[in-house]
Amino acid sequence: MGDEREDVAAELLRVREGARAAPVGDPPEPAPPIPRQTVARRSETLPPAEPAPSPPDATAVNEAWAAEGRSRRGLAGLVHRVVGHLLGGRFEAQRAWNAHQVRLDNELLRYVEERFAAIHRHYDRILGLQGRRLDEVDERHILLERELVAHVRDLVRRIDIVLAESSRGRAGQELVLEDLRARLERLEEAVRRRA
Structural domain of 179: 2-41+57-194
Q: Is residue 47 part of a domain?
A: no
Domain total of the chain = 1
pLDDT(37) > 50: no
Amino acid symbol at 142: I
Q: Is residue 51 part of a domain?
A: no
Predicted structure pTM score: 0.39
Instruction: Tell me whether residue 119 is in a domain.
Output: yes
In a domain, 52, yes or no: no
**What average pLDDT does this structure show over 21-39?**
50
The answer to whether residue 50 is domain-embedded is no
Structural contact between residues 151 and 29, judged by C-beta atoms closer than 8 angstroms: no
By the 10 Å C-beta count (0-12 exposed, 13-18 middle, 19+ buried), 15 is classed as middle
Helix axes 37-44, 88-194, angle to 10 degrees: 130
**For the chain, what is the mean pLDDT?**
76
3-state class percentages of the chain: helix first, strand second, coil last, to nearest 5? 80, 0, 20
Question: For the chain, what is the total number of helices (H) and then of strands (E)?
Answer: 5, 0
Do the domain assignments include residue 73? Answer: yes
